[in-house]
Amino acid sequence: MEEFCAKWHDKFLSVLRIMTGLLFLEHGTAKYLGFPHLEKVPNPVSMSGVSGMLELVGGALLVLGLFTRPVAFLLSGNMAVAYFYAHAPRAFFPMLNAGEAAILFCFVFLYIFFAGPGPWSVDAMMRRK
Amino acid sequence: MNATAIESIWSPRVRSVLRMIAGLLVLQYGTAKLLGWPVVKMFENLPWLSLYGVAGMFELVGGALLVLGLFTRPVAFVLSGEMAAAYFIEHLPRGFFPVLNHGDLAVALCFVFLYLACAGGGPWSLDAMMRKKG
């Protein structure tokens, strides 16, 4: 078990980065490209719309693992703003203000900023060359 | 602080922070379902031995252990499985895309816990304290 973890934990980091990136990208595509179709699409110049642009571009870069650290730092900040701006005014507890995902993404991205993209990423491929 | 210091010293510490935050988020579900705090309409008078109730037990105990960082690896592994089950039972039937079925949190938690199960809870945890004492 120890051996398996020592060998695989940085690859799981890449998997975590790709999954959170995909979840993020999906919010961006839903807001800007209409896929998947949302009932209510936010205005592109609103807070939520601008954040959609970050989700679209940042999410795609995270999935690829390109410029991971700066992108993760930016998105972490974006999620902190989203939480305090959109969710915190609704209620104190994340369960009631629906801000759980924003909190979790904020800290996952903060961690990725510190830990880097892991081996399955364009960043790592470029470094190897 | 150079890049190496960030990676070698601070990244395990931030992993501990991530573990606590994820643990708190899950613990909150456990207390809401079983202890009625914070009050959530959906979970009022929830029987302990229902699907939600059993999930709540996992969340209550597992979340608390994660916040403390005790038995992080096995606990994270179990919770990762629980989140996968939650996604497939609760969210997937509502729609394929997480943005439509509101399963973002379950997916993200599932993979965070899978990673923690493999990487461990980091230095700021009871596991690490006990290891230091030997």
Write out residues 44-103 of A within 8 Å (CB-CB) of B. 93-96, 100-101, 103
Sequence letter at residue A119: P
pLDDT reported for residue B40 = 87
Least confident of B17-21, B47-51, B73-77: B47-51
pLDDT reported for residue B7 = 79
What is the DSSP annotation of B1-63?
Answer: --HHHIIIIIHHHHHHHHHHHHHHHHHHHHIIIII--S--GGGTT--TTSHHHHHHHHHHHHH
Are the C-beta atoms of B49 and B88 separated by less than 8 Å?
no
Domain range list for chain A:
2-122
A30 in contact with chain B, both atoms CB, cutoff 8 A: yes
Q: Which residue is listed with tokens 């695989």?
A: A8
Give the pLDDT mean for A12-40. 91
A16, A76, A97, A109, best to mutate vs chain B, most B CBs in 10 Å: A16
B18, B31, B124, best to mutate vs chain A, most A CBs in 10 Å: B18
pLDDT reported for residue A60 = 97
Which among A13, A23, A96 has CB closest to B107? A23
What is the ipTM for the molecules in this complex?
0.93
A56 is written with which tokens?
A: 């679209």
What is the DSSP annotation of B72-134?
Answer: HHHHHHHHHHHHHHHIIIIIGGG-SSHHHHT-HHHHHHHHHHHHHHHH---SSSHHHHHHHH-
| pLDDT tens per residue, range B79-114 | 999 999 999 999 999 999 998 899 999 999 999 999
- Express as a percent the part of chain B with pLDDT over 90: 77
Contacts of B59 (CB under 8 A, 6+ apart): B26, B27, B29, B30, B33, B79, B82
| pLDDT tens per residue, range B54-69 | 999 999 999 999 999 9
Q: Which residue is listed with tokens 């909150």?
A: B28
Mind telling me how many Å the CA of B54 is from chain A's nearest CA? 18
| pLDDT tens per residue, range A79-114 | 999 999 999 999 999 988 989 999 999 999 999 999
**Long-range CB contact pairs, B86-93, < 8 A, 24+:** B86/B55, B89/B51
Q: How many CB pairs under 8 A join A and B?
A: 97
> Is B98 within 8 Å of A108 when comparing Cβ atoms?
no
Give the pLDDT mean for B10-28. 96
Q: What is the pTM of this model?
A: 0.94
pLDDT reported for residue B1 = 56
Which among B21, B29, B111 has CB closest to A19? B111
| pLDDT tens per residue, range A41-54 | 888 788 888 889 99
> Is B108 within 8 Å of A111 when comparing Cβ atoms?
no
Q: Residue A9: its chain B contacts at CB < 8 A?
A: 115, 118-120
Mind telling me how many Å the CA of A32 is from chain B's nearest CA? 13
Q: Report d(CA B97, CA B120) in Å as an integer.
A: 30
3-state SS of A20-83 is: HHHHHHHHHHHHHCCCCCCCCCCCCCCHHHHHHHHHHHHHHHHHHCCCHHHHHHHHHHHHHHHH
Give the pLDDT mean for A1-21. 91
